[in-house]
Amino acid sequence: MLAGKRVLWPLTLLNLCLTILGSYTERFDEKLTIKSLQDGKVASIFTFTTLLEGATPRNPRALGSDDESQHYNVFPLALGQILREYGVSELHLTLNAGNWNYDRWGYPEEKGVGTGAELWAWMGDGAVTTIDQRWKGLRNAMAGLFCASLGTLDELRTTSPSETFTPEGSLPTWDVPHRIRHASLPSENVCTENLTPFLKLLPCKSLSGIASLLNPHRLFDADWHGMGVHVLWRQDKGVEVRLTFQTVSDPLRYSLNKMQDWSLQTLFDRTICQACPVAQTSQVLVDLPKGTPYSIKPEPSSTERNIAIFQTKTFNMPLNIGISWPWAYQYPLQYKADLIPLSVKRTLRGTSQAWGRLSITITNHLSATVEAVYLETMPWLLQFYLHTLEARVDGVVKDGIISNISYIPPVSHSRPTTFHAVLTLPPKETVQITMDVTKAFLRYTEHPPDAQRGWDLPPAIITPLRLLNNNDSSTLPLDGRIYTSALLVDLATPDFSMPYNVIIFTCSLIAFIFGSIFNLLTRKFVVVRLDVDKSL
Amino acid sequence: MSLNSKTSSRPAISSNFAIAFSVLVAARLWLSLTDLSNVLKHDQQLSSPLTSFSQLQEGIYLFNHGIDPYSGGSFRHSPLLLSFFATVFPLSRKLASLLWTLTDAAGAWFLVQTWRVRQNVKESQRDALVAALYLLNPYILLPSLALSTSSFANALMLATIMFACRGKSTATLFSLSFLLHLSLSYIVMLLPLLLLLISDPFSHLASPRPTSAYLRKLTPLVGEFALYTVTLTLISTLVAGSWEWIPQTWGATLTLPDLTPNTGMWWYFFTEMFDHFRPFFLMVFNVHLLIYVVPVCIKFQHDPLYATFVLLGILGTFKAYTTLSDPGLFLSMIAIFPETYPYLRHPLVTVLLHLHASLLMPLFHHLWLTQGTGNANFFYASTLVFACANGAALVDSIWAGLRIAIGENVNGYTIVQE
């Protein structure tokens, strides 16, 4: 302890010197938001933000030459190197498992809740290498960094939906255009091996601070969990890296007498034992329940607008925050259906493995017309018949709901479909949009090892844009993308044990017919006199 | 008196044919206006990706909305069809059924005309039978109900043959080059049709001799054909806006990008093939179609119409994206060669093989793709039987066409091949 105190002053001085000598000031904040949802579940959102003040993304024109050295203390070096190597202006990677239930849980705090892996990036053009080559390098580098199979997000899954995935931050104003590349892999599984490199990007790792609550046993047991890496540039501040982890856990599952109570110990099986010394602010925000009595322990540092704020550094460690209710939880008879303006459900109908029908049902809960953007990025396996696109309200076909269709057709064994339409949804109505699709027949080598499982299709994304004729003064949040669930399509498989047999059968038949025709064409008929043996 | 009966029977023959033809066409029209097309247009044995009506509608929709239908991967019809249906003829369901029925009626009429020219008569008693064999052939009827564009190809092929029989070279070459734009495999028909143009369509099967046609006349005809083809190619490029339609349409026949099942032998072969061998076998299968042209034309140089018929059979069996209508054309065309019927060796076997295949193919297709209780192998096996049936018909026709030259069997002599 004494020796530690002796080293403390030189270390702080060294830290200060390095911080001054290094190019930028860095700032690390951590935050945990906990909300109780209406079906008894608890949503926890971990947000770790590192800000590199004054920095800008690397100009793609400089990609050919050596980069200037970057000195980071708190900013994750592995991620920073990847960003500078490929000249990425904005990057979003999410690895989610489960289906976010918008009707019961409302809008998530981090908008990217599509199942599986989703990676999208805005990059400036004008470098020596093309954007697609840099995208490929970026995918593979992120795959290596996060131990996720992001390298398979190749041309079969990459599209450029620039209207739906608008930049969250600002894009630097170089005189080159910025392009987006987006790919999603719904079949990606998320587990501890993805969490470990995620934690390594944090300055305190999982040893202290709020990150010490990230217990993989509990996190991956949750009803829904997803991690995200978001890199953006804020023009007046600098480059921001935001690492997020969202979970929806179910305390009712663990409680013996249907109590909705939760605490950090029951949710994560851990408590905050030590504050992260590098964090500027370390907060836990708890949404306080409305309308029912409750008790919250310990007392929050401050409360504003129904949110209890705990500044963890001012509390005694170990810190265990929790809420308890006096009565057992009652499942509501009917869930409030107006947490978000639109409810979306997408299904693939049809029993044939040759063709089917894609159907998407959107319910508008508002009493004003909503204009929304509908985006489908479908791999080439499922090909749309746009001429069969129909919108029905109450079973009656209606024009005027779908407009402004922009469509990039798929290329077999290559580019996916990008279908983008503007929907005008009438108030308080359910619209059903259907379209015929054909299912592809793949080559032997294109089928995955478990071919009978089928292929996962990425979610469709509905983005509400604006309200038209808004008579109602209530303002529901219209921001954010709504992801539908991923679909599973089973394609017809050939018999995998038969390649040799098929070649043999077909070639034999062709040879037989060819041989007979060859015989007939090259031989001539001859009349032969039969000698009748007179002696017999 | 016999003269009287002859003159009184002649209007009876022509009115018989007219009545029979109208009845057949009306029956087809009635059938096509029922809802059968909506069910049949998805069937993969009646229309391939190159001839599918849904794809045609999709391409026209994209074209009308300013999206290039050839920039993606699934529209494989010729730009000529695209421009025809997008501008001249709007494709509603009822109009489409009417058009397809009229196309089939035209095809039957062309076949009857070819028969009449071959027999060198103005009309005959068999006309109605020939028309019925085309219009009522289920292999022709069902794809036409399914609104497959192979009906256009068949009618155009019969028109080309009729023009060639009548000696009209311009019409023949132009319709053949149009046909080439509908499907690249029809290049195989160029040589026999040219030979038919420079000789006569009458039946010489019974008396073969080396052709007396002047082969030098072929060169300007080939040049004219090339001119028409190049012109239509340029028109197609103008319609499509770029050269991308060539790999999408003609390239599809050569490289088989779409492995949708059909009644041919190619799809499962190339589904099960490893990528390493794909280019080699694609080359083999494509060249295999070409090697039959010259030998068949040489062997049947005395009767080029029969050579055309035989090559149609070869196309129907070995083409890239076959449907039921390609062998259907071959089978219907047997109607104009009645002189070969006594010399067919195994017509019953052929008929039974066709019956077997045509009953089992839709059953196994349904079991595999809709019900899921069958394997792909079931359907593949039934297509093998279908190919056997086509091969049997083909081989038997070639045998009969050659055997007819020897004449009937006489006691004490036997006919062998050496």
CA distance A443 to chain B (A): 5
The answer to whether the CB of B161 falls within 8 A of the CB of B134 is no
* A107-134 mean pLDDT: 91
Question: What pLDDT does residue B6 have?
Answer: 46
Q: Which residue has the higher pLDDT, A9 or A200?
A: A200
Question: What pLDDT does residue B4 have?
Answer: 45
Tell me: cis bond preceding A318? Omega within 30 of 0 counts. yes
**391-410 of B, contacting A, C-beta below 8 A:** 391, 394-395, 398-399, 402-403, 405-406
Q: Which residues contact B233 (CB under 8 A, 6 or more apart)?
A: B181
- Give me the residues paired with residue A511 across strands: none
* A28-32 mean pLDDT: 93
> The tokens 């008894």 sit on which residue?
A40
Summarize pLDDT for A392-410 with one digit per residue, the tens. 998 899 888 998 999 999 9
With a cut of 90, say whether residue B226 has pLDDT above it: yes
Q: How far apart are the first and last CA of chain A?
A: 128
With a cut of 90, say whether residue A54 has pLDDT above it: no
In the structure, how many helices (H) and strands (E) does chain B have? 19, 1
Contact assignment for B391 to A436 by CB distance below 8 Å: no
Assign B2 a pLDDT band (cuts: 50, 70, 90): very low
Summarize pLDDT for B253-292 with one digit per residue, the tens. 999 999 999 999 999 999 999 999 999 999 999 999 999 9
Share of chain B above pLDDT 90, in %: 69
Contact assignment for A436 to B54 by CB distance below 8 Å: yes
With a cut of 50, say whether residue B3 has pLDDT above it: no
Contact assignment for A409 to B69 by CB distance below 8 Å: yes
Q: Among A124-138, A207-221, A253-267, B204-218, which is the least confidently predicted range?
A: B204-218
Q: What are phi and psi of A174, to 5 degrees?
A: -80, 170
A495 touches chain B (CB under 8 A): yes
* A469-488 mean pLDDT: 76
- Give me the residues paired with residue A372 across strands: A423, A464
B69 touches chain A (CB under 8 A): yes
Question: What pLDDT does residue B1 have?
Answer: 42
Share of chain A above pLDDT 70, in %: 93
CA distance A347 to chain B (A): 18
Assign B203 a pLDDT band (cuts: 50, 70, 90): confident
Q: What is the DSSP string of A332-401?
A: -SS--S-SSSEEEEEEEE-S-SSEEEEEEEEEE-SSSEEEEEEEEEE-TTEEE-GGG-EEEETTEE-SSS
Out of A495, A510, A513, the one facing B394 most closely (by C-beta) is A513
With a cut of 60, say whether residue A535 has pLDDT above it: no
Pairing of strands A26-36, A42-53: antiparallel
Spell out which residues of chain A touch residue B73, defining contact as CB-CB under 8 Å: 380, 383, 409-412, 414
Which SS3 state, helix, strand or coil, does residue A196 take? helix
Out of B271, B394, B395, the one facing A444 most closely (by C-beta) is B271
Question: What pLDDT does residue B95 have?
Answer: 87
> The tokens 């209508």 sit on which residue?
B325
Share of chain A above pLDDT 90, in %: 53
Summarize pLDDT for B30-55 with one digit per residue, the tens. 888 888 888 888 888 899 999 999 99
**360-379 of B, contacting A, C-beta below 8 A:** 368-370, 372, 375-377
Summarize pLDDT for B371-390 with one digit per residue, the tens. 989 999 999 999 999 999 99
Contact assignment for A409 to B271 by CB distance below 8 Å: no
Question: What pLDDT does residue A473 have?
Answer: 55
Spell out which residues of chain B touch residue A521, defining contact as CB-CB under 8 Å: 295-296, 299, 398
Summarize pLDDT for A348-388 with one digit per residue, the tens. 999 999 999 999 999 998 888 999 999 999 999 999 999 99
Starting at the edge strand found earlier in the chain, the sheet holding A417-425 runs A402-408, A417-425, A369-378, A461-468, A482-483
Of B137, B136, B109, B133, nearest in space to B123 by CA = B109
With a cut of 70, say whether residue A63 has pLDDT above it: yes
**307-366 of A, contacting B, C-beta below 8 A:** 351-355
- Rounded to two decimals, the ipTM of the complex is 0.92
B268 touches chain A (CB under 8 A): yes
Out of A355, A411, A530, the one facing B73 most closely (by C-beta) is A411
Question: What pLDDT does residue B5 have?
Answer: 45
Assign A17 a pLDDT band (cuts: 50, 70, 90): low
With a cut of 90, say whether residue A139 has pLDDT above it: yes
A445 touches chain B (CB under 8 A): yes
With a cut of 80, say whether residue A328 has pLDDT above it: yes
B272 touches chain A (CB under 8 A): yes
B412 touches chain A (CB under 8 A): yes
* A486-497 mean pLDDT: 93
Question: What pLDDT does residue A11 have?
Answer: 65
pTM exceeding 0.80: yes
Spell out which residues of chain B touch residue A436, defining contact as CB-CB under 8 Å: 54
Q: What are phi and psi of B322, to 5 degrees?
A: -85, 155
Out of A387, A438, A527, the one facing B61 most closely (by C-beta) is A387
**4-33 of A, contacting B, C-beta below 8 A:** none
* A155-167 mean pLDDT: 90
The answer to whether the CB of B20 falls within 8 A of the CB of B109 is no
Q: Could you tell me how many CB contacts below 8 A there are between chain A and chain B?
A: 168
Q: Among B184-198, B205-219, B356-370, which is the least confidently predicted range?
A: B205-219
| B369: nearest CA partner in chain A | A353
B345 touches chain A (CB under 8 A): no
> The tokens 């053949």 sit on which residue?
B176
The answer to whether the CB of A284 falls within 8 A of the CB of A301 is no
**70-129 of B, contacting A, C-beta below 8 A:** 71-74
Assign B346 a pLDDT band (cuts: 50, 70, 90): very high
Summarize pLDDT for A396-450 with one digit per residue, the tens. 998 889 989 999 999 888 899 999 999 999 999 999 999 999 999 999 999 988 8
